[in-house]
Amino acid sequence: MEAYAAAAASPRTTAMMGADKLSYQLFSLLESKFLFGAGAGCLSSGPGTPARAFLDGGRVRVLAIDGCGGAGAEDALLAAAALARLEARLREQAEDPDARVADFFDVAAGAGAGGVLAAMLFLRGPDGRPRYSAQEALAFVAGGVGRKGWGGRRGRWAKICRGSRGGDRVFQRVFGDATLRDTVAPLLVPCYDLATAAPFVFSRADAVESDAFDFRLRDVCAATCAAGRDPVAVRSVDGLTAIAAASAGVAAMGNPAAAAITHVLHNKQEFPLATGVEDILVLSIGAGASATTCDGSSMPMPARSPSPRELARVTAQGVADMVDESVAMAFGYTCGSNYVRIQAGKAPAPLHADNAASAAGAMLAQRNVESVLFRGRRLSERTNAEKVDALAAELVKEQERRRRSPLPNVAIKQVGTPRLSSATTSSSGTATARTASTMPSPAPWDSRR
């Protein structure tokens, strides 16, 4: 009788055991994948499997630079100082005295002053190499600091903020007639288009496909830095696309990290192997808490009502922090290794030409507040400078891993015949250099302001 009952219950018991086993396997998979990492190789495409190890060409390396509230010169000082330190460490560890930041990144995105820095570092020179070093970009930013703060009304950054002709001349000297196509890697620079009441992103990938989306870099920088009362009118090189641009800081694009990550994950032609955040390495440089406004005056006391520009800047910084927190949560267990955020606190007030270097060093010595999955926000254990040094080592490792991989994970679109056709080819090689006549002369901002 007992044997009969056991035999009758056997199929049901077996089914229940099978369901429990399946539930356990599913939970284990979710736990290892999303909570504690996928290092055990539970997935067939996980990093621990032989197939992934053989085809692993490294992570897609993304550089994103914030630019809140107009040109954001104070923010540019932190970004430029961090990038100059990063470039110096890369040269040491790669044992290449001519290494540039752009050699170690596959995508750059920048808004406001961050857009200017990204465009400078990724501009292709006559020899096909990045035109400017990070140290030269830092000199450009620090040179905009006058004796009366960030240049007063006559300084370089004040001209850029107001969208005046003086600012246009600055960009003309830095970028010449170069366009989005004249960059060594994909470049994304956002602005806000008042004509469509929506964000607009200048993209090298679009520029390669059509002249209607190719813009001169000087116009791109003027658009993303536009903080004056009147919008900046920008047209593509063929005149078919027109933008009534306002600063990217008035929209959520003040922090372009999310836009850059989205671009990588959805651009399968240039980044065919990037399927998730574990395939991306991001350096995001955030805006510090500014102690001065764009025109060089001190921030107002709480007793008086802030101006619309000051309100816009505070709002943009808040939105940028929200984007940072969302991106950090999206990276989950890889945050800190695949997503590195550098952000300074309050800069010295007021900033002058005499203390620009010390101010940059002080911001690099600060520790920023970072987001941690399931733990909220906490003060980072490492300073900004320590994060930069650790990232340099990771970037050199990524470079070596890519050299050993039989399958490249990046295939940048190239222009077959510049300006004569929109036909493109996929290649991981270096683009053919444009003529030197389109490029600016060395250190063009040193001659006159």
What's the start-to-end Cα distance of the chain, in Å?
101
Residue type at 417? T
Cis peptide before 50 (omega within 30 of 0): no
Q: Is the pTM of this model over 0.85?
A: no
Q: Can you give the three-state secondary structure of 5-41, one letter per residue?
A: HHHHHHHHHHHHHHHHHHHHHHHHHHHHHHHCCCCCC
User: Could you tell me how many helices (H) and strands (E) the chain has, helices first?
Assistant: 13, 12
From CA 294, how far away is CA 298, in angstroms rounded? 9
Q: What's the pLDDT at 166?
A: 59
Neighbours of 215 (CB within 10 A): 25
Question: What are the two backbone dihedrals, phi and then psi, of residue 249, each rounded to the nearest 5 degrees?
Answer: -70, -15
Question: Which tokens is 287 given?
Answer: 């805006």
Rounded CA Rg of the chain: 24
What's the Cα-to-Cα distance from 58 to each of 70, 104, 273, 280, 409, rounded to whole Å? Answer: 35, 12, 10, 9, 7
Per-residue pLDDT 10s for the chain (449 aa) are 444 444 444 555 554 555 555 555 555 555 454 444 444 333 334 444 444 444 566 899 999 998 754 445 566 788 999 999 999 999 999 999 999 999 999 999 999 889 999 999 999 999 999 999 999 999 888 776 544 444 444 456 655 655 555 567 889 999 999 999 999 999 999 988 888 888 899 999 999 999 999 999 999 999 988 875 578 899 999 999 999 988 755 555 678 999 999 999 999 999 998 989 899 999 999 865 444 433 344 444 445 666 655 666 666 676 777 888 888 888 888 878 899 999 876 665 566 656 777 888 888 998 888 877 677 778 888 999 999 999 999 999 999 988 887 777 888 888 755 544 333 333 333 333 333 445 565 566 654 44
> In sequence order, which ranges of 243-337 are alpha helices (DSSP H)?
257-266, 308-331
Residue 178, CA atoms < 13 Å, CB-side half-sphere? 31
From CA 123, how far away is CA 107, in angstroms rounded? 12
